[in-house]
Amino acid sequence: MTIICSFQYEGGSVLVGDLLISGSKEQESPLDIPTRFNKAQSDVSLYFVDLSQKVVIINDHLAVAWAGSKLVATYLIQRIADQLKPPYTPDKLLEQIYCAGLLDSELASVSFIFYCLTDPEHGRGFVQDYLTGETILDNKTKFKYAGSGTKHFLESIDFNLVGVSEKPSYFEESFGAIIGRLAIALYHEVTSSATHDVYYGGGFELLFFDPIARRLFKVPLTFVFWEFSDKAVLLHGPIITLNYGVDGYLFVHRIAKDETGKFTLKTYSVGNLLNEGRVIPEPASPTFNTSCTVHFFTSSVSDATRMMIHGDDANKFMVRYSPETGEVNVMWSETFFKEANTLVGL
C-alpha cells in the first residue's frame, strides 16, 4: 500500500511517505522487507514489488511526496529537477506537469504533494498538491493525502494521544496523531502473523524544515520493541532504524533475533526516483540513537501493548550493537527507566 500526506500548520509543514511499491502481479522472487520475517505471500490482492522512497528531496528548498505510477512519477519529478528554476511558484510546478506531453490517463495515474521553501531564512514556503484529498482543520491547519493506504492510515487506525505530562498544543496533538499512526502501522507489520494487504514497506519517512541549516531534511527514526511482565522490562526486538547516507540513499537497519536467539543485523538499501541506477554507496555503521525514537512495550502474559515516543533526547536511551558477538547493549537514563516502568505499570 501507499500513503503520502502533509500536515500544514502555522509554523510550517511536514511531509510523510511510506516505502513500499506494490503491484497486482505475483513476483518471481518474493521481496524481503524489514518488518516481515516470512517472504511468502498468499491470498493477497497486492504483491510486494520494490522498496522506494516516496518522499524525494529535489534540492535543499524543494521536496515532493508521490503516489501512484512509479514510471510516470519518475519522469515528472526528473523533469522538474532538470527544468524548474527558482523562484518557485505553485503555478510553475503545475505547469511542469500539465505541459509534460503525457496522456490524460498518465496524468491521472499519479499524485504529488510538493513542499517548497520560498524564504529559507525564516522557514516560509508553500505546499502544492496534485490529485490529493484534503481535510481542513481550521484556517491555518490542514492535512493533504493520497495513496491506496489513505483509508487505513487516516481512518482505520485507532489512535489517542495519552500519557502526556501536560495538555498538548494543537500542533502536538495533530503531529502526535501522525507519528502515532505510522508507529502503529509499523507495529502491525512486525507483529501480525496474518496475511493481509496492509503493508507499507517497513518504515516511513518524515520531512521537515531545518531552522538551523535553513533547508529541508528527513528525520532519522528508530523503532524499538520491548517485552514486559509484572516483574521486568526486557529488550525483545526487533530494532529498526532509518539512517541516511550519501546521494540521498536510505538505509533501513534491522536488528532481530535469529533462531538461536542471537541478534543479527540486516540492512536494506532504499533509493529514490532521482538516484536509481547509480552505484549504491556502502552504508555506514547503523546509528540507533536517532532524533525520534518510538518504543513499543508488549506484554508477555496478555495482549496489552504500550507505546512511548521520544524526541531529540538521545541521552535518555542508547543502543550499541556488536556484529561479532551478536550482543545488543542498551543504556538508558534514570528518566527513561522511570517513564518506561510507569508506562507498563511496574
User: Quick one: 172 and 308 in the same domain?
Assistant: no
Residue 289 Cα distances to 130, 218, 239, 254, 319, angstroms = 36, 15, 11, 14, 7
* Each residue's pLDDT tens digit, 202-232: 788 999 898 899 999 998 888 888 888 777 7
pLDDT tens-place string over residues 229-243: 777 788 888 899 999
Q: What is the pTM of this model?
A: 0.89
**pLDDT of res. 164:** 45
Q: Which three cell numbers stand for residue 103?
A: 496522456
Q: By C-alpha distance, which of 56, 28, 15 is closest to 273?
A: 56
Residue 227 within any structural domain of the chain: yes
Helix (H, G, I), strand (E, B), or coil: what is residue 45? coil
The pLDDT value recorded for residue 162 is 45
Place of cell 489513505: 150
Residues 40 and 116 in one domain: yes
Average predicted confidence (pLDDT) for the chain: 83
User: Tell me, what's the pLDDT at 43?
Assistant: 55
Last residue of a domain, one of 175, 190, 210: 210
Domain count within the chain:
2
Residue 231 and residue 286 share a domain: yes
Highest mean pLDDT (candidates 157-161, 177-181, 247-251): 247-251
Residue 332 has phi, psi (to 5 degrees) of: -140, 160
- CATH assignment of the domain containing 56: 3.60.20.10
Residues 6+ apart with CB under 8 A from 343: 163, 297, 306, 308
Task: Tell me the pLDDT band of 165, cut-offs 50, 70 and 90.
Answer: very low
Q: Determine, yes or no, domain membership for 215.
A: no
Which has more confidence, 12 or 100? 100
For the stretch 187-202, pLDDT in tens is: 878 877 665 567 788 7
Prior bond of 87 cis (ω within 30°): yes
DSSP state, residue 152: I
Q: How far apart are the first and last CA of the chain?
A: 38
CB hemisphere CA count around 334 (13 angstroms):
0
Confidence label for 109 from pLDDT (cuts 50, 70 and 90) = very high
Of 57, 307, 314, give the one whose Cα is nearest residue 206. 57
In what helix (H) or strand (E) does residue 81 lie, and over which residues does it extend?
Answer: helix 70-83
